[in-house]
Homo-oligomer: A and B are copies of this chain.
Amino acid sequence: MKRKRTKTVKIGSVDIGSGHGIVIQSMTKVPTVEIERCVKQVYELVEAGCKLVRIAVPRRADTEAFAKIVQKVHIPLIADIHFSPDRAIEAIEAGAAKIRLNPGNIKNPKDIIRIIDSAKMHKTAMRIGVNEASIADYQTKDVPGDKRVALMLKEMKKYVRLFEKRGFDRLVLSAKSSDVARTIEINRKISETFDYPIHMGLTHAGLPEDAEVPSAVTLGTLLAEGIGDTIRVSAAGNPVEEVKIARKILVSLGLYERSEPELVVCPTCGRTEINVVQLAQKVKEAISSIHKPLRVAVMGCIVNGPGEATHADVALCAAKNKAYIYRKGKRVAIVPDSEAITALLNQLHKL
């Protein structure tokens, strides 16, 4: 996967850009003023794979809490300030490594300048974004899809120019929509137009089970084209679920190192003589305590099985009443089916 070249932007200790790994981020979803809960959630997100965490600071009390949270965690934090220039300045002074700002939400240009100057002084990065929903508020009620993309790009150009004119280039760009095709399109355009790192996500996707496919299609497509430097999957509820989906997307493209075994299972067909799903679920459970990025294959036939086994660290090809066990592509055992899982685990432990 060849990444589109971008500048590097420092978000505290984390570098973002094409010269660095793709960074997963997410957002706390407990009230920011409940400092201990918030810190706990930051650590849960770090444990799950986040290198950056964003925290909403809608009120003065939140930026005060934010200042304390910054002291209690070792990763850079991003403040989501939304409408308020005051919250932006407070968050920057509180030690935010990055501010998320939709300039379209700040009505007075002087306020934007004030924020830029403060961020510059504190070496705070800034994610500036356009959001189709915000644009729609005042401009695009009945604008067709492709025109919306053009409008979003135009808006983004205006913002970038504003920041650059003020000598600020610690920028990460993002453009969001809840429409998959338009999110793909606007991000392609942004990647063509600018060389700042890109933050990608799909807004308001839905419940985790409904968010998975649209997020994988959107982010997967862009990542496969080399676009995107930091990603956030949006889903309602526990943010750890967002990170798990983000990780799966990156893993599928080889952009994130798995730390757990990968279970490859044949799709089963009319040739299958055994209950592969049941067997695979048993194998999944049996290997769940192994924390190594091994590739384990469970195949239900001896047609595609041996071929697939050459790509797996350990493979089990199950036929009627017996199982063929492979290690690194070599057949190492034929056992009765009752001993198949034990035989597989034995081979796994040899690695």
Interface residues of A, Cβ cutoff 8 Å to B? 1, 27-32, 38, 55-58, 62, 80, 82-83, 131, 133-134, 136-137, 141, 178, 180-181, 184, 203-207, 210, 212-214, 216-218, 220-221, 223-225, 234-237, 242, 245, 248-249, 252-254, 263-272, 276-277, 280-281, 284, 297-300, 303-304, 306-308, 310-311, 329
| Identical chains in the assembly | 2
Is there an interface contact between A213 and B212, defined as CB atoms closer than 8 Å?
A: yes
Is there an interface contact between A31 and B270, defined as CB atoms closer than 8 Å?
A: yes
> With the chains together, A203 CA to B203 CA distance in Å?
31
Q: Could you say which residues of chain B place their CB within 8 Å of the CB of A220?
A: 213, 216-218, 220-221
Q: Could you say which residues of chain B place their CB within 8 Å of the CB of A310?
A: 133, 136-137, 141
> With the chains together, A170 CA to B227 CA distance in Å?
37
Q: Could you say which residues of chain B place their CB within 8 Å of the CB of A58?
A: 270-271, 303
A238 to chain B, nearest CB (A): 8
* Contact of A206 with B263 at beta-carbon distance under 8 Å, contacts A276-B236, A304-B133 already known: yes
Is there an interface contact between A269 and B27, defined as CB atoms closer than 8 Å?
A: yes
CB < 8 Å neighbour of A62 from B30, B131, B270? B270
CB < 8 Å neighbour of A267 from B212, B213, B234, B281? B234
> With the chains together, A304 CA to B80 CA distance in Å?
13
Is there an interface contact between B213 and A248, defined as CB atoms closer than 8 Å?
A: yes
> With the chains together, A90 CA to B86 CA distance in Å?
77
Is there an interface contact between B213 and A277, defined as CB atoms closer than 8 Å?
A: no
A94 to chain B, nearest CB (A): 15
Q: Could you say which residues of chain B place their CB within 8 Å of the CB of A281?
A: 207
CB < 8 Å neighbour of A29 from B234, B254, B268? B268
> With the chains together, A252 CA to B216 CA distance in Å?
10
* Contact of A252 with B214 at beta-carbon distance under 8 Å, contacts A29-B270, A56-B271 already known: yes
> With the chains together, A58 CA to B218 CA distance in Å?
39
Is there an interface contact between B28 and A270, defined as CB atoms closer than 8 Å?
A: yes
A179 to chain B, nearest CB (A): 8
* Contact of A254 with B303 at beta-carbon distance under 8 Å, contacts A236-B268, A269-B27 already known: no
